[in-house]
């Protein structure tokens, strides 16, 4: 099998997995939750994949009964946000050479 055929087969497998995942999610989520998840996937694709995998895993373990509403999805998002909270630090690096108070008094 050539590299081109392997790449084509890998793309086809990835496509089939994506279709299967979307089918499962459409069965689990209601319309508003699905819309929220698609918005999240546009804004933060990594987080959306994490949420999708969590939802599918919960459904397979029987933790989700019926369709998951928008409120249920928000709770899952809050839980994941709490687990993956990143602290942002801002560091100011002032350049002392650029701040020359003597040059202001040169009249």
Mean per-residue pLDDT, 19-30: 90
Long-range contacts of 53-60 (CB under 8 A, 24+ apart): 54/80, 55/25, 55/28, 55/29, 56/21, 56/24, 56/25, 56/28, 59/24, 59/28
Residue ranges per structural domain of the chain: 3-86
What's the pTM value of the predicted model, to 2 decimals?
0.66
Q: What CATH number matches the domain at 3-86, 1.10.1040.10, 3.10.20.30, 3.30.300.180, 1.10.8.140?
A: 1.10.8.140
DSSP state, residue 66: S
Read off the tokens for 48. Answer: 């959306």
Site of tokens 């809050």: 78
How far apart CA 102 and CA 66 sit, in angstroms, is 73
Tens-digit pLDDT profile for residues 37-94:
999 999 999 999 999 999 999 988 988 888 889 999 999 999 888 887 777 788 877 7
What is the model's pLDDT at position 43? 93
CB 80 within 8 A of CB 51: yes
């Amino acid at each position: 099998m050539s590299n081109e055929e392997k790449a084509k087969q890998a793309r086809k497998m990835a496509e089939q997995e994506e279709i299967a995942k979307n089918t499962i999610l459409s069965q689990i989520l209601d319309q508003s939750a699905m819309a929220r998840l698609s918005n999240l996937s546009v804004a933060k694709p990594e987080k959306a994949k994490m949420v999708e995998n969590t939802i599918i895993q919960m459904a397979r373990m029987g933790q989700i009964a019926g369709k998951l509403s928008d409120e249920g999805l928000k709770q899952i998002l809050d839980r994941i946000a709490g687990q993956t909270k990143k602290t942002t630090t801002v560091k100011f690096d002032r350049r002392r050479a650029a701040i020359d108070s003597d040059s202001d008094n040169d009249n």
